[in-house]
A and B are shown apart, each in its own frame.
Chain A
Amino acid sequence: MIGYAIRRIAGAVPLLLVISFVSYALMGLAPGGPSAILSEQSRALTPAARAAFVASLGLDKPWYVQYFYWLKELVFHGSLGRSFVGHRPVIALIGEKMPVTMELLGLAIVVTVLIAIPLGVAAATRRNSAFDVAATAVAFIAYGIPVFWLGIVLIDVFAVGLRWFPSGGIASIGRENDPLDRLWHLVLPVATLVVVGFAPWMRYQRAKMIDVLGQPFIRTARSKGLSERAVIYRHALRNALIPIVTLLGLSLPTLVGGAYFIEYVFSVPGMGYLALNAVFQRDYPTVMGITIISAVFVIAGNLLADIGYALVDPRVRYE
C-alpha cells in the first residue's frame, strides 16, 4: 500500500509538469496579455520606464521563456512568484484565502453528507415508495439549480427581505474571531451549496445501498434474526459507503479550488474570489499558483479516494 502511494505520488510529477506547461501555454498564446493593462496603469511613465517595468516582470520574454523562469523558481526556491497586483508572494495570498474557503466548503460538505446519506439510505430501504419518488424528484430539480441563482434568491429573501442573515462576507467588522458571528455569515452560502450539491451524494448512496441490500450476506444477516436496524446500519451501510468515499476524495479539490460562484455571490474572500480577481486582472503568477495548487489537490483527492476504498473494503488491495 505504501509502495503504491509512493509510486502514485511519483507519477504525479510529470502530470503536474504537463498541467503547468499547458496552462502557461494557454495564457501565453491567448491574445490580450497583462502588459496592456499594466501599461494602462502606468500611463504617466515614459516609454523607457514602461519598458523597464514590463521587463522587470519578465513580460518582455516569450511565454516559454517565462515558463522556464517560473518553473526554475518553483523547483529551486519553492516559490510561486509574486502577484503582479500588489507584488505580494502568491503563496502568501493563497495561504491567506485558503482557510476561508476550507471553512465554507468544509462545513458545506459535512452538512451535505449528514443530510444525503440518511436520505439515500431511507430512499433505498423504502424503494418506490412515495418518499423515494419525492426524494428523487427533489434531487433531480435541485441538481439543475445554478448556484448563483439560488444564492441571489436566498440573499433577496433572507438577507434583504427578512433581514435574518447577512447578505455576504465572512464576519462582521470587528468580530472576525467570534465563531458564532462567522457561523451566522455562513448559513446562507452553506445552505445554497447543500441544496445544489446534495443530489449526486444522495443518488449514489441510494443506488449503492439498493445494490448492497440485494446481496446474499444481507439475506444471511436477516436470517440470523438481526433487527432490520442492525442489518441496514451495521452490515449494509458500511459496504454502501464506497461511493461516498469516492465523492469525498473528488470533492477535496473544491475545498481549495474554491467555489467561484458562491464566493462571488456572497462576497466571501476565499480562493474562488482570489481566482476570479486574478483572472480579471490578468495576474499570471496568481492564476498559475491557483492552477497548480488546485491540480495538486485533484491528484491528492484521487489518491485518497483510492486509499479510502481499501480502508472501507478489505477486498481492495494495491500492490
Chain B
Amino acid sequence: MSRFLARFGHERPALGGAIVLAIIVAAALLGPLLWHVSPITVQHAVMGHPLPPSAAHPLGTDLLGRDQLARALQGARVSLTVGVTAMLVAIGLGSLYGAIAGLAGGKVDAMMMRFVDAMLSFPTFFLIITVEALTNQFSLVVIVLVIGLLSWMVVARLVRGEVLTLRERDFVEAARALGAGPVRLITRHLLPNALAPIVVAATLAIGDNILIEAGLSYLGLGVQVPTASWGNMLQDALGTTALVAPWMVIVPGTLIVVTLLAFNLVGEGLRVAFDRSIDQ
C-alpha cells in the first residue's frame, strides 16, 4: 500500500487532479457555510438582466438575478452527490454480480453474462432519458438509482474477468479447503483482491455520472429548479447568449470540465500506479 502511494505520488498529473478534487469537495462541503448568499433568492429588481461578476457577486448573477457563486456551490454538492452515490450503486451491483458469475462459472456464468450483453446492447442513455421522462420523478434518489442501475454492466464484466483468474489461485483454493462458503469467498477473498481495477473504474465512473447528470438536467430531466445543479445552470444559460452574459455559460461549463478532468487524471494515475506496483 505504501509502495502504491509512493507510486501514485510520482504521477504528477494525477496528484494535481487529486488536489483539484480536494478543493472541489471542500468547496462543496464548506462553501455554503462560508458564502452566506442564498442560491435561490433573487438578488436584484430587474430580472432578465444578469449582472456581471462584481464584489457582491463574484461569479455574477443569472437571468432570474440569483447569485451564481451560491448556485455553483450548491451545484457542486448536487453533482458530487449524484456522481458518488450512483457510482456506489453501480459498483456495488456490478461487483457482486460479476463475482457471483465468475465464482459460479459454467452455465450460470454463461447465462448471467448473456444478460449483461443484453443490457449493454441497450441504448443506455436513451433508456435513462426515457425512464426519467416517464416517471416524471426528479428526486435525487430516482436520478441516482436510474443512472446506477443502468451503468453497472461494465463493472460486472471487469470483476468477473478478475474473479475468473483469482479463483484458480492457491489462496482461494486454501480458503475453500478451510471450509469458506461462497459468501465468505466473495467478500473476504475475491473482491478484496480485485479491488485495484474496481477502484479505477469507480473513479472514472464518478466523472461519467456527473456528465450524465449534467446532461439530464440540461434537458430538464434531472435536478429541478430552484435547486441548482451545474447542468440546469447550463440550461438557464441557453436562454441567453454568451455575448450578453458569458459568465452564465462559462461558470458551470468550466466547473464540469475541470471536475471531469480531475477525476479522469486521478483514475488514470491510479491505473498506472496499480500496474507498476504489481510489476515491482
Residues of A within 8 A of B118 (CB): 15, 18-19, 22
Bound complex: CA A261 to CA B253 (Å): 15
State whether B122 touches A148 (Cβ < 8 A).
no
Bound complex: CA A30 to CA B214 (Å): 23
Q: Which of B133-141, B161-169, B188-196 contacts A (4 or more CB under 8 A)?
A: B133-141
Judged by a CB distance under 8 angstroms, whether A171 is at the interface is no
State whether A160 touches B130 (Cβ < 8 A).
no
Residues of B within 8 A of A279 (CB): 126, 129-130, 133-134
Bound complex: CA A287 to CA B268 (Å): 37
**Which residues of A come within 8 Å of B, CB atoms?**
15, 18-19, 22-23, 26-27, 30-33, 137, 140-141, 143-146, 148-149, 152-153, 156-157, 160-161, 253, 257, 260-261, 264, 275-276, 279-280, 282, 287, 290-291, 294-295, 298-299
Bound complex: CA A149 to CA B256 (Å): 10
Q: Which of B38-46, B63-71, B235-243 contacts A (4 or more CB under 8 A)?
A: B235-243
Q: 15 pairs across A/B with beta carbons < 8 Å?
A: A22-B118, A31-B136, A33-B134, A141-B261, A146-B214, A146-B234, A148-B218, A148-B234, A149-B257, A153-B249, A160-B243, A260-B125, A282-B134, A295-B123, A298-B123
Bound complex: CA A114 to CA B214 (Å): 30
State whether B127 touches A26 (Cβ < 8 A).
yes
State whether A294 touches B253 (Cβ < 8 A).
no
Judged by a CB distance under 8 angstroms, whether B198 is at the interface is no
Judged by a CB distance under 8 angstroms, whether B275 is at the interface is no
Judged by a CB distance under 8 angstroms, whether B50 is at the interface is no
Judged by a CB distance under 8 angstroms, whether B148 is at the interface is no
State whether B126 touches A291 (Cβ < 8 A).
yes
Q: When the two chains form the complex, which single residue of A137, A146, A149, A257 contacts B123, counting CB atoms closer than 8 Å?
A: A257
Bound complex: CA A22 to CA B130 (Å): 13
Bound complex: CA A149 to CA B117 (Å): 32
Bound complex: CA A27 to CA B123 (Å): 14
Bound complex: CA A58 to CA B249 (Å): 45
In the complex, residue of chain A having the shortest beta-carbon distance to the beta carbon of B259: A144
Assuming A31-B137, A253-B123, what are 19 further A-B pairs, CB within 8 angstroms? A22-B122, A30-B134, A31-B134, A32-B136, A140-B268, A144-B211, A144-B260, A144-B261, A144-B264, A149-B234, A152-B234, A156-B243, A156-B249, A161-B243, A276-B129, A279-B130, A290-B123, A291-B123, A295-B123
